[in-house]
Structure 1
Amino acid sequence: MIDLFRSESVVVRSMPTKDVSRWIVTFDNYGIGHGFDRPGFGQEFLRQSGVSALHVMGCQEDWYQYPEMAEAMAAARAATVGADRVMTYGSSMGGYAAIRFADAVRAHAVLALSPQYSIDPQKMPSETRWLQDSHRITWLPEVDGRIICRARPVVVFDPLEDGHQVTRIQRDIDIRQVALPYVSHPATTYLAETGLLKPLVLQALSGDFEHIAFGREARRRRGASSFYLSNLAMRQPAHRRGLALDLAQRAVKIGPSSPLASLALARLLSAEGRHDDAIKRLEGIVTSTKRAPVYLISYVDALVAAGRFDEARPYAREAVEALSHQAHLHAWEGALLQRLGEAREAVEAVERAIALDPRPQYFQLLETYRDDAEANALSQRNGAVRVPRMLARLSTAIRGVRKA
């Protein structure tokens, strides 16, 4: 393992195998981790498959908007000179990079799972999933401009989640698309569960990939996927709640150890008012995942839905501390504190959100919370106890700023 290029922002790490005639250049997905003391995207999978790899690793979730990317890609290109096949590969943010840097490494093939065209609000105003990052990042025209790609990328995605992004990619370049509704974002999880990820990667690398046949087979396997069924359950409208619960229960039977399948069922149980069942199931998920923050958040939401605000508070704090860089979670915690009548603490939580992401919705919440804090202080001086107002409105506002 050798670092071919390293700066404060990006590393290109070489992990060759015995076969150096084929190389895959990978790019990190969102949330894979900060810094460089970690595996690259797909590192162990590619090593076990006997495929030589270059792992391009960004220092954080910046969509590779680094001025030194040209130099980094030059190092990657030099390392694969003479190879029979070079493929760029990534999921989500990594899929964005796999398409955009394919020409820079002279790739013969591209595999992009659930990619973005861009998350720059000026280019993709409909994209709201990474708003905090999209406003933080300085978008470089040499990276985030019009796509030029000589290879014809293979793009696997859920059109309900990423159709707008893929449509925009197609305006710039020709692609081979495999659209799989209800596999969610990223499609990687579904492909791995159904045993399709490895053949997809190897066939795309070899040049033997047939996207129409692959799409047919991927759709055929949906009924045996707990991930697919749980996503399909969560997509059902309110008047099909019975069908949603049935689908979620089937998902859990197929994948009894899958926290994602169990989570979907818990959320639906909570929406049905079956709070004890939902909370019990979420307690099991939190334990089995060693208190992973994403599941703590859902556990707090279920406790709040059950009116168990005091119980929810320490778990909310734990989740926020684990993901303190995410502004929407500070606003989320502020809503809980407001419900508990702790207006001053709610103000402080929203101020933390604004420090990370000064969006208008947070300022609106801050104004409301400050009004309540001042009114509470006045009521206490007058010997009265005041219940926080506008809770329904606040709940609606928080749902609007929660990250998708």
Structure 2
Amino acid sequence: MTSNLGHITQTIFDGKHVQVLHAPNESDWTLLTFDIMHARANGKVAFASKLAQALGVNFIGVVPKYPCWYPKHEMDELTDLIKGKRIGPMLAYGASMGGYGALRWGSLCGAHSTLACSPQATIEPSLLGERDKRYQLRYISELHAGMRVNEEHLAERNFVIVDRFFKNDFVQANLLPASDSLRTIFAPFMFHSTAKCVSGRENAAQIFHAALEGDHAAIKAAIRRKRVTAFERAVNIAKTCNRKHRPLLAEKIVERLKETHPVDYALVTADAMRRSGRSNEARELYLGIIERDKGHKLAKQHLSALNTNCEFDVQK
């Protein structure tokens, strides 16, 4: 049972690296979230805060002030504070850097279960080598050395959602501790957007409660239902087809997205046209995207590459 008290957000901690928000509610459980690397603390919103309001649940959100990966010396100050705001069992939830935060700090903050989408196990270059170089520039030895997720950090129940076909994330998943308390759920062709499988009020509510109860089968079924209808999955399958020299199949897969997701449709279709020798048609699609959104960097990059390649082909 829940009783929405207006979900007034309070800033209960404002440090050098993170800010902690609390939206109290007389619910019978608590949602604790850790935000993504692109989030910036503003005292108002946190990862899944709107979803928590819709669910009417007691909510605590840890929000970074920069891509900090939740450093120990500041997080150690927060564990008792967050425990003091908990009502009933608590679920720690996050994606990417937030998934790391949920796994590394959720239990220490009092969470009974953790749900992590495409998390990192570490960003320490000496542990990753060439396998995942995405976050090397974010690594600061004074903050992040020895901060890998280990078994001692895990909650009673931990669920990791990852796309095993997305190489960097699968590398990170394999660096997580081998533990009976940690279950991995695969979400093929969601790439780094596995958190989209948790979207939607009813779907999220089912997954959150299943995570609190340790119901792996229910989480897996809910993730699959959401995944097969996700437009991101269709886009990513089509991108894979392009990379594997199946451009006509890629075009066919994204055709249904032409009206609902026109930019994604145009980007994938233009790439398919380029790969099948229809450069002029591809150019028109890229120009259409740029006309719609003059700041669309990816379309500009692809158009520039296309023009360069065309010039090279002519010279050749």
- What TM-score range do you get, normalising by the shorter chain? 0.7 to 0.9
Which residue does 2:306 correspond to in 1?
A: 305
Deviation at 1:115, TM superposition (A): 0.8
How far apart, CA to CA, are the structure 2 residues paired with 1:5 and 1:247?
47
The answer to whether the aligner puts 1:118 opposite 2:122 as a matched pair is yes
Kindly tell me: are residues 200 and 266 of structure 1, through their superposed partners in 2, closer, same or farther at Cα, counting changes over 3 Å? farther
> Per the alignment, in what secondary structure is the counterpart of residue 188 of structure 2?
coil
How far apart, CA to CA, are the structure 1 residues paired with 2:34 and 2:179?
21
> Per the alignment, in what secondary structure is the counterpart of residue 120 of structure 2?
coil
> Per the alignment, in what secondary structure is the counterpart of residue 224 of structure 2?
helix
> Per the alignment, in what secondary structure is the counterpart of residue 267 of structure 1?
helix
Which residue does 2:95 correspond to in 1?
A: 91
Which residue does 2:182 correspond to in 1?
A: 175
Alignment of 1:5-404 (within 5 A): 5-19=13-27, 21-32=28-39, 34-37=40-43, 39-65=45-71, 67-80=73-86, 83-125=87-129, 126-134=131-139, 136=140, 138-141=142-145, 143-144=147-148, 146-148=150-152, 149-161=154-166, 162-171=169-178, 174-192=181-199, 196-205=203-212, 207=213, 210-219=215-224, 222-236=227-241, 237-250=243-256, 252-253=257-258, 256-257=260-261, 259-286=263-290, 290-291=293-294, 295-307=296-308
> Per the alignment, in what secondary structure is the counterpart of residue 74 of structure 1?
helix
Give the TM-score, by structure 1 length: 0.65
Structure 2: 5+ residue stretches without partners: 1-8
How far apart, CA to CA, are the structure 1 residues paired with 2:284 and 2:200?
26
How far apart, CA to CA, are the structure 2 residues paired with 1:202 and 1:6?
30
Alignment RMSD (CA, Å) = 2.9
Kindly tell me: are residues 57 and 218 of structure 1, through their superposed partners in 2, closer, same or farther at Cα, counting changes over 3 Å? closer
Q: Show structure 1 runs of 4+ deviating over 6 A.
A: none
Q: Could you tell me whether the CA contact under 8 Å between 1:267 and 1:302 is conserved in 2?
A: no
| Percent identical | 22
Deviation at 1:40, TM superposition (A): 0.7
> Per the alignment, in what secondary structure is the counterpart of residue 12 of structure 2?
strand
Deviation at 1:213, TM superposition (A): 4.2
Q: Deviations over 1:88-134 (max 9, x none)?
A: 11001000000110221121111111111112111222112223223
How far apart, CA to CA, are the structure 1 residues paired with 2:264 and 2:205?
21
How far apart, CA to CA, are the structure 1 residues paired with 2:158 and 2:44?
27
Kindly tell me: are residues 222 and 17 of structure 1, through their superposed partners in 2, closer, same or farther at Cα, counting changes over 3 Å? closer
Q: Could you tell me whether the CA contact under 8 Å between 2:91 and 2:208 is conserved in 1?
A: no
Q: Which amino acid aligns with 1:298?
A: A
> Per the alignment, in what secondary structure is the counterpart of residue 264 of structure 2?
helix
Deviation at 1:212, TM superposition (A): 2.7
Q: Could you tell me whether the CA contact under 8 Å between 2:103 and 2:155 is conserved in 1?
A: no
Q: Could you tell me whether the CA contact under 8 Å between 1:275 and 1:305 is conserved in 2?
A: yes
> Per the alignment, in what secondary structure is the counterpart of residue 31 of structure 1?
coil
Which structure exhibits the higher relative contact order, with contacts defined as CA atoms closer than 8 Å and separated by 6 or more residues? 2
Q: Which amino acid aligns with 2:192?
A: H
How far apart, CA to CA, are the structure 2 residues paired with 1:141 and 1:99?
17
Q: Deviations over 1:50-96 (max 9, x none)?
A: 0111110111112112521100222111222xx22111110010000
How far apart, CA to CA, are the structure 2 residues paired with 1:42 and 1:221?
17
Q: Could you tell me whether the CA contact under 8 Å between 2:273 and 2:282 is conserved in 1?
A: yes
Deviation at 1:145, TM superposition (A): 5.7
Q: Deviations over 1:112-159 (max 9, x none)?
A: 11111112111222112223223x564435643634213221111111
Q: Which amino acid aligns with 2:174?
A: T
